[in-house]
Structure 1
Amino acid sequence: MPTAILKPEPQEYPEAFKSYIELVPADKDVMYYLEKQHADLLHMFKGISDARAEESYEPGKWTIKELLQHMIDCERIFAYRILCICRGETASLPGFDENLYAYNSLANIRPLESILNEYDLLRRSNLAMIRSFTSEMLDRVGIANGNQVTPRALVHIIAGHEQHHVNILNERYAKMKK
């Protein structure tokens, strides 16, 4: 099991994910960062009502619940890709339509507490799974959505994707009336 999961090189992931990877601090171990994000996100949502979580910052944008569910869905998909590639899968893994997933999530009819519980369980499970892999497994190359990617890059993409959306929550949703 690796002592630290180093930041991936640009050839390890599609260019589209560069901005996410750049959001992960280079001076922090990504596993520590994922654990901190986990605690910070759960704390961020303390005291937010279901009604508030069903609001969006402008018409046509996802609600807070939908955004949180999107983060969960993406982490689950990225983690599945990590598992497949680490286990030696050679088939190309499919892409997904994030808007279709958000629409079909029905997040707004779920209690926020239920969504947060799903996030909590998923992140803890993914941390345990990632820790079970060797450095060699995390350096394998697979194909996802038609692009080459390593599990090591996907771990950083999970962290960066969450940070991207936390930034949106802080910048756009926090400005909404409380």
Structure 2
Amino acid sequence: MLQRPVDNEYPKYYVPYVKLVSDGELLSILKENLAEMVALFEGLSEEDGHFRYASDKWSIKEVLGHMTDTERIMSYRLLRVGRGDQTPLAGFDENDYINGSQFDLLSNKEILEDFKAVRHATITLIQNMADDVWNRKGIANGTEITTRAIAYIIAGHAIHHGKIIKERYLTDLNK
């Protein structure tokens, strides 16, 4: 079983994400989160997908697109660090990715299918990693990070945004 990373394995700004990951088998947590996101998004209309709880906030579609983009990037980091690649990995600005996207032009179903594909790829990547890679260290966004920390950050990031959708978007949408 993959052990929870300790605080010195990742930058402090990821602490809230890692703390959101409950104790238990990480692969099960990722699969449960996938099922939750599928149920949540399959229950939304196309109109709901365009909802923003404030004018300067992303739409629900953009939030799921952001979750997908970030998981794709973090899985790439997991692959590189896990395979022992010591090349420093660049950071990214999530707002640039949203500004360069077309999520609001896609259907909820199309965005959800992309999220599902990325999550399935993340799961198989984690499943197929050797046991001895989880403590490997690499540099991402100018800071040291371990393979297992990246795996937990992936899970925590998705949990974080799922909570935001439920608490800020769906609460306001249903008023």
Give me the TM-score of the superposition, normalised by structure 2. Answer: 0.97
The percentage of aligned residue pairs carrying the same residue is 36
**What is the Cα deviation at residue 135 of structure 1?**
2.2
2:43 to 38, 41, 47: 47
Partner of 2:157: 161
RMSD in angstroms over aligned alpha carbons?
0.9
Please list the CA deviations of residues 144-171 of structure 1 after superposition, one character each: whole Å capped at 9, or x if unmatched: 0001001100110011001111111111
Partner of 1:119: 115
Partner of 2:20: 23
Runs of 4+ in 1 over 2 A off after TM superposition: none
Is the deviation greater in 49-58 or in 63-72?
49-58
**What is the Cα deviation at residue 46 of structure 1?**
1.6
Give me the TM-score of the superposition, normalised by structure 1. Answer: 0.95
1:24-173 mapped onto 2 (5 Å cutoff): 24-26=21-23, 28-173=24-169
**What is the Cα deviation at residue 91 of structure 1?**
1.0
Q: Distance in 2 between matches of 1:155 and 1:163?
A: 13
Q: Please tell me the residue identity of whatever aligns with 2:67.
A: M
Q: Please tell me the residue identity of whatever aligns with 2:159.
A: Q
Q: Tell me, which stretches of 5 or more residues in structure 2 are unaligned?
A: none
Partner of 1:6: 3
Please list the CA deviations of residues 60-79 of structure 1 after superposition, one character each: whole Å capped at 9, or x if unmatched: 10000000000000000100
Q: Distance in 2 between matches of 1:16 and 1:23?
A: 13
Q: Distance in 2 between matches of 1:49 and 1:174?
A: 12
Q: Distance in 2 between matches of 1:37 and 1:47?
A: 15
Q: Tell me, which stretches of 5 or more residues in structure 1 are unaligned?
A: none
Q: Distance in 1 between matches of 2:20 and 2:122?
A: 20
**2:42–2:109 Cα contact (<8 Å) kept:** no
